[in-house]
């Protein structure tokens, strides 16, 4: 590539998704990341894509809803271009209903979902016994089963995105020239640098530890209970995670925190007892102080842009983030919700 229309700093899921969206519109894209593709939290193991509960709707919830609805086509197109599976599956999710008050909320949300999810997903109340043994423990005997949730293998998905970009003529390099429209999607380290330069905390990193288990339950819905996600992958493995650690010395160190998480997982999901651990992983997720992604004009580089702060919902938000940032970078069209606008969150 001699000249790029778009230069993107950061080869995590936000940077790669924006790059892919731009390439699909015919732009020449250069992605720059000295650490390589998905070197941070985008190279993880879990991959739970879950919606907001269907109540108190606003433009931010609508944005995420649209992204989840877009996901099947988005990731299918990436797979076809890359010749590599992302692990995406519209598998749904089961989670326990803990008490009678929660049961009443669940019934109301089931009604709300009919209107708010507009036939794109359903929110059911089901008996836990009907899904045993693949079910979280539930004191009431009932579970929420939503069909809008999906799963993905983060590491496979970012690999596929990178391959798709390169096969369509894009560049992913460790260093290179800035050309064209410039986007910064530099993860938690970018948020820390931004905080330092602005003289106030606008975001930070939250470390997460997770594990990959040798349990083939492909096709089953993901489970959520006791703060733990279990996500079946199509390759016959199971993602389990994750911790949330605000304070850490080494972003990739695996320690007692993961052992404690796995013990809690066995207590919450007894069928995990004795299952072999294939891999242990640690990485740091970018969290903006508002917990909302920062999208739009970069606060320090005039005429440049930012997409950061995906935190726990980065993969679920990526299809729509890619679309609106491509609108902005290539056409100057701004469709970012007010609650996600960088200037509103700094």
**What tens digit of pLDDT does each residue of 219-268 get?**
999 999 999 999 999 999 999 999 999 999 999 999 999 999 999 999 99
Q: State yes or no: pLDDT of 344 exceeds 80.
A: no
The yes-or-no answer to whether 6-87+149-202+289-344 and 203-285 have a common fold is: no
Was domain 203-285 assigned CATH 1.10.10.10? no
Stated as kind and residue range, the H or E segment containing 299 is none
The mean predicted confidence, pLDDT, of the chain is 96
* pTM of structure: 0.96
CATH class assigned to 6-87+149-202+289-344:
alpha beta
Q: What are phi and psi of 332, to 5 degrees?
A: 70, 15
Distance between CA atoms of 118 and 120, rounded to whole angstroms?
Answer: 6
Q: State yes or no: pLDDT of 95 exceeds 80.
A: yes
6 within 8 A of 180, measured Cβ to Cβ? yes
**DSSP label at residue 328:** I
Q: Outline where DSSP puts E strands in 163-202.
A: 171-173, 181-184
Q: What is the mean pLDDT of residues 105-127?
A: 97
pLDDT at residue number 200: 94
Q: Where are the domains of the chain?
A: 6-87+149-202+289-344, 93-147, 203-285
Q: What is the mean pLDDT of residues 272-299?
A: 96
pLDDT at residue number 346: 76
Q: State yes or no: pLDDT of 118 exceeds 90.
A: yes
Express as a percent the part of the chain with pLDDT over 90. Answer: 97
Q: What is the mean pLDDT of residues 170-191?
A: 97
How confident is residue 291, by pLDDT bands cut at 50, 70 and 90? confident
Can you tell me whether residue 321 is helix, strand or coil? helix
29-32: strand order across its sheet: 171-173, 29-32, 6-9, 181-184, 305-308, 294-297
pLDDT at residue number 343: 84
* Nearest by Cα to 170 from 43, 3, 296, 326: 3
Q: State yes or no: pLDDT of 31 exceeds 80.
A: yes
Q: Which residues contact 260 (CB under 8 A, 6 or more apart)?
A: none
201 within 8 A of 306, measured Cβ to Cβ? no
pLDDT at residue number 259: 97
pLDDT digits (tens, 9 = 90+) for 133-179: 999 999 999 999 999 999 999 999 999 999 999 999 999 999 999 99
Q: State yes or no: pLDDT of 102 exceeds 90.
A: yes
Distance between CA atoms of 276 and 255, rounded to whole angstroms?
Answer: 18
CB atoms within 10 A of CB 137: 16
Q: State yes or no: pLDDT of 313 exceeds 80.
A: yes
179 within 8 A of 160, measured Cβ to Cβ? no
pLDDT digits (tens, 9 = 90+) for 204-220: 999 999 999 999 999 99
Dihedral angle, C-alpha 117, 118, 121, 127, nearest 10 °: 80
57 within 8 A of 118, measured Cβ to Cβ? no
């Amino acid at each position: 590539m001699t000249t790029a229309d778009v230069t993107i700093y950061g080869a995590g899921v936000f940077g790669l998704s924006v790059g892919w969206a731009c390439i699909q519109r015919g732009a020449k894209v250069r992605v720059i990341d000295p650490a390589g593709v998905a070197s941070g939290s985008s190279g993880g193991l879990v991959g739970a894509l879950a919606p907001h509960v269907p109540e108190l709707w606003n433009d931010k919830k609508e944005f995420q809803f649209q992204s989840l609805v877009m996901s099947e086509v988005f990731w299918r197109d990436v797979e076809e271009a890359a010749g590599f599976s992302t692990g995406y599956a519209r598998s749904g999710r089961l989670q326990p209903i803990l008490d009678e008050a929660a049961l009443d909320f669940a019934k109301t949300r089931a009604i709300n979902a009919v209107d708010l999810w507009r036939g794109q997903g359903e929110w059911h109340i089901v008996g836990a016994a009907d899904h045993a043994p693949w079910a979280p423990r539930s004191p009431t005997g009932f579970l929420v089963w939503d069909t809008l949730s999906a799963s993905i293998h983060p590491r496979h998905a970012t690999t596929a995105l990178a391959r798709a970009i390169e096969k369509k003529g894009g560049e992913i390099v460790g260093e290179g020239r800035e050309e064209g429209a410039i986007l910064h999607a530099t993860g938690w380290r970018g948020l820390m640098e931004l905080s330092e330069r602005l003289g106030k905390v606008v975001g930070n990193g939250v470390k997460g530890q997770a594990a990959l288990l040798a349990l083939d339950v492909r096709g089953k819905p993901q489970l959520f209970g006791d703060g733990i996600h279990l996500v079946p992958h199509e390759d016959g493995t199971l993602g389990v995670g994750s911790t949330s650690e605000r304070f850490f010395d080494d972003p990739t160190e695996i320690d007692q925190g993961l052992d404690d998480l796995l013990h809690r997982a066995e207590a919450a999901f007894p069928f995990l007892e004795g299952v072999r651990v294939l891999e242990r992983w640690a990485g740091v997720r970018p969290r903006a102080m508002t917990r909302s992604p920062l999208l739009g004009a970069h606060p320090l580089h005039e005429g440049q842009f930012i997409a950061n702060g995906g935190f726990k919902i980065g993969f679920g938000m990526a299809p729509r983030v890619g679309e609106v940032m491509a609108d902005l970078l290539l056409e100057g069209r701004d469709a970012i919700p007010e609650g996600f606008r960088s200037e509103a969150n700094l």
